[in-house]
Amino acid sequence: MASNFLRLRKPYYVESTINCSSSSDQKLVNLSFGIDETRNQTKKRQAKEHHGRRSCLDSCCWVTGYLCTTWWLLLFLYHCCLPFTVVHEVPQLMPAARLKREGLTGIHPVVLVPGIVTGGLELWEGKPCADGLFRKRLWGGGGFTQLLKRPLCWLEHLSLHNETGLDPPGIRVRPVPGLFGADYSAPGYFVWDVLVKNLAKIGYEGKNLHMAAYDWRLSFQNTEVRDCALSRLKSKIELMYRANGNKKVVVVPHSMGVAYFLHFLKWVETPPPMGGGGGLGWCAEHIKAIVNIGPSFLGVPKAVSNILSAEGKDVAYFRAMAPGVLDSGTLGLRALEHVMRVSRTWDSVVSLMPKGGETIWGNMDWSPEDEHVCDFSKKRYFRLSPSDNNVNKSNAKQVFRVKDPVKYGRIISFGKAASVLHSSQLPTAVLKEILHMSASRNFTSSCGEAWTEYDEMSRESIQKIGAADKAYTATTLFDLLRFVAPKMMNRTEAHFSHGIADNLDDPKYNHYKFWSNPLEMKLPDAPNMEIYCSYGVGIPTERSYVYKLSPSNKCKRIPYQIDTSVDGEDRSCLKSGVYFADGDESVPVLSAGFMCAKGWKGRTRFNPSGINTYVREYQSKPLTSGIKSTAHVDIMGNIALIEDILRVAAGATGEEIGGNKIYSDILRMSERINLRL
């Protein structure tokens, strides 16, 4: 703008100079002016010629950039700006102001534990392509701007070493410390900000409020190995406990942060060098309550689709609408291949795989969600018995049954038929084929540099695995993933386990790989501690997928993708290749609520000291957002959830805030699961 302004003023300046100079000076100025004009015309002509020589690839990149920017803006407007505006434009609806007028003040220190991708990451050391980004955000806040400026460099610096799961040579990316690190995941898209502001209104500040930042890409034990994150969390809780008059701490984890803090509970009491050496009474002494938000205790099926094809329902929908963008060889994007290459270095992704196998998630012909109703707009919820005080009194006592229950236990099905036929009509030799092929896996790709591990597989093995009428359950899919992603699974299965313990007193369960699985570890001996499972319900949530072989068999292509052409009948659970169940859009109710509803209820072998557990569900309502939203991240601004947290932080017990509040079918699902307690 300034250059245009100066260009307009230049003739006036020259004219004034001529009037005030001699004739010789006037000729000199005219000559200079003519030379300048000639130079300007030459530059314009060169620029025009250069523009004409611009390659088709450059033009496509500009178009793609505009499309991506528009897409991000639309997502922000839909998912972020509306709830953000509602929350901040209606301050009288913020619960802290009302509760403060009622005399409520903060008593117990509060520790917040972010989940996967919600914590900020900043650069401390990088490659030459990252010059000028020292201590700048690569993730969270404004870090996404680097995606458009230098995408390949950005992805390279977010990747971890494929064998160690730690820093690649010459790269150091670290979590952003403090509350600033996870208040917003992007400009205008709040995560913890609303809750922090409410806590501040009742007296919280740096002395009694802490954000336990950690690198969410790493395995949980590696956050301690590399950054001493678990030791710092232990020291911080001890300091806050002493500095606030020996008041126990309330911990509020979100999403994957729930599993991370579960790992911490076992780590802190385990003797060194594997653990923190706090002793068996550490949790009982320092922790009042754990309010888990959107907990993924038993994993999420979408982690499977992420590993298999770097997809979820949103990516699948976008691919269906614009099939040439993500898979375009002309544009050279190969977006999903790059995403897969990076995410397969993140051990945290495997921590979210379904836990408990077929016992929890169902087999080929059974699942806990059998008879689930997918018409969410008219859904009514099951009530265990008229006298059961665990169920919200407003629930209708009506159960809707479906003629052909969805076979949710088949988390991955190749072809619609494989997702609906009885197991007797499907092939039974899938596992034997996979094991045989994995034993002879010596195929060498001729594609040059491999973008994914799929380039190390022969086309024959790819087609056998993805042949029609094959389906994989929560047990057999691990064999599938060990074959298609052997490097990732070999590395991460040393840090995580996904089964059910037969004998929790077996010394092998003292290893850290079992500590984040609630079915393979005991809760601490802390009978006065409370555990809350707080999550949204009533939103269609990904539960299983219908896949197909990708139409392209070219090198450097992901060979499998969600079959978005597959749909069910009207009001069906199947839409665009994805079967939906009840949940908060990301975590199914089964994963979020089972442990509090049954696994830890009373004295069980997983909860030997009888820690009180509470299910606190928040019901989704049509066209709600912000202060009433129950979606996985938006729920962080839900006024009912915030009020519950504030009351617990102010000293209330679970019974004093209303006990269990259940809208979903979690009790019926839990009763259908035959788990030895």
Model pLDDT, residue 277: 97
Q: Is the pLDDT of residue 439 over 90?
A: no
Residue given tokens 């000028």 in the structure block: 132
Residue given tokens 């540099």 in the structure block: 449
pLDDT in tens, 189-217: 678 989 999 999 999 999 999 999 999 99
Active site residue 498: no
pLDDT-derived band at 530 (thresholds 50, 70, 90) equals very high
Model pLDDT, residue 134: 93
Active site residue 632: yes
Q: Is 534 helix (H, G, I), strand (E, B) or coil?
A: strand
Q: Which one of 584, 634, 644, 665 is the catalytic residue?
A: 584
What value does the CA radius of gyration of the chain take, rounded to a whole number of Å? 28
Q: Which residues pair with 105 in a beta bridge?
A: none
pLDDT in tens, 210-255: 999 999 999 999 999 999 999 999 999 999 999 999 999 999 999 9
How many Å apart are CA 256 and CA 572, to the nearest integer? Answer: 30
Residue 456 amino acid letter: E
Cα-Cα-Cα-Cα dihedral sign, residues 389, 360, 536, 652: positive
Q: Is the pLDDT of residue 53 over 60?
A: no
Angle at 160 between CA 495 and CA 277, to 5 degrees: 40
pLDDT-derived band at 455 (thresholds 50, 70, 90) equals confident
Three-state SS sequence of 74-121? HHHHHHHHHHHHHHHHCHHHCHHHHHHHCCCCCCCCEEEECCCCCCCE
Contact 558, 337 (CB under 8 A): yes
Task: Tell how strand 249-253 and strand 110-113 pair up.
Answer: parallel
How many Å apart are CA 588 and CA 117, to the nearest integer? Answer: 19
Query: Helices 302-309 and 335-343 meet at what angle, rounded to 10?
Result: 120
How many Å apart are CA 232 and CA 230, to the nearest integer? Answer: 5
How many Å apart are CA 8 and CA 1, to the nearest integer? Answer: 11
How many Å apart are CA 56 and CA 661, to the nearest integer? Answer: 58
Model pLDDT, residue 90: 40
Angle at 553 between CA 563 and CA 341, to 5 degrees: 80
Contact 226, 132 (CB under 8 A): no
68 vs 172: which has the higher pLDDT = 172
Residue 568 amino acid letter: G
Give 604-672 as a DSSP string: BTTBTT--EEEEEEEE--TT--GGG--STTGGGG-HHHHHHHHHHHTT--TTTTTS-B--SSHHHHHHH
pLDDT in tens, 144-162: 666 667 888 888 999 999 8
Q: Which one of 255, 348, 544, 664 is the catalytic residue?
A: 255
Active site residue 584: yes
Q: Which one of 534, 632, 664, 670 is the catalytic residue?
A: 632
- Average pLDDT of the chain to the nearest whole number: 80
Q: Is the pLDDT of residue 25 over 70?
A: no
Task: Tell how strand 412-414 and strand 539-549 pair up.
Answer: parallel
449 vs 221: which has the higher pLDDT = 221
Residue 464 backbone dihedrals phi, psi, to 5 degrees: -65, -45
- Fill in the DSSP letter of residue 376: G
Read off the pTM.
0.83
